[in-house]
């Protein structure tokens, strides 16, 4: 296990540096001051037009504001134990387990007083809340 504990915040598609490493304009590393394997923690991101804000246990950590998508996407949770010593720290020496106690997703809940129009059309919504027309 890593010490300090690392949480990675990323925007996709990512921007890469010339040497192949992830650019800090679409990638941030947070060195937590706690062992995330001892108890559950809240990891949150607010995807708003032009930026994504990241929080850990309600504490604001950082904002990434480059290459922010404005089209529908999906939420993906990963637990990387791929053996890459430059990223995940090399092969795990014991079982690597990701346990999620709760996952709650909201769509622009702070900006709308009624459901977005795309809810009734069954079409994906953009981050602005407007219906995507194909």
Q: What is the pLDDT of residues 6-56, one digit of tens each?
A: 888 888 888 989 988 889 999 998 888 888 888 999 999 998 889 999 999
Give the pLDDT score at 53. 95
Give the pLDDT score at 57. 94
Is the per-residue pLDDT at 58 higher than 80?
yes
Q: What is the residue extent of each domain of the chain? A: 1-95, 104-134
Give the pLDDT score at 92. 76
Give the pLDDT score at 134. 45
Q: Which of 32-41, 72-81, 99-108, 125-134 has the lowest mean pLDDT?
A: 125-134
Q: What distance in Å separates the CA atoms of residue 123 and residue 112, rounded to the nearest whole number?
A: 18
Tokens of 69: 């998508």
Question: In the predicted model, what is the mean pLDDT of the chain?
Answer: 79
Say which residue, 33 or 91, is predicted with more confidence. Answer: 33
Tokens of 6: 């690392």
CATH 2.60.40.1120 fits 1-95, yes or no: no
Give the pLDDT score at 66. 93
- Residue 62 is classified by DSSP as E
Chain length of the chain? 134
Tokens of 90: 């090399």
Kind plus residue range of the DSSP H or E element containing 118? helix 118-121
- Percent of the chain past pLDDT 70, that is, above it, reads 72
Q: What distance in Å separates the CA atoms of residue 38 and residue 22, rounded to the nearest whole number?
A: 29
């Amino acid at each position: 296990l890593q010490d300090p504990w690392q949480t990675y915040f990323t925007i996709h598609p990512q921007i890469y540096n010339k040497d192949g490493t992830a650019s800090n304009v679409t990638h941030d590393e947070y060195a937590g001051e706690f062992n995330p394997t001892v108890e559950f923690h809240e990891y949150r991101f607010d995807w708003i037009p032009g930026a994504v804000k990241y929080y850990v246990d309600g504490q604001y950590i950082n904002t990434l504001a480059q290459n922010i998508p404005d089209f529908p996407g999906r939420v993906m949770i990963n637990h990387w134990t791929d053996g890459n010593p430059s990223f995940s720290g090399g092969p795990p020496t014991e079982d690597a387990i990701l346990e999620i106690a709760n996952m709650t997703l909201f769509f622009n809940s702070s900006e709308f007083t009624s459901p977005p129009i795309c809810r009734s059309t069954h079409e994906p919504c953009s981050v602005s809340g407007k219906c995507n027309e194909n």
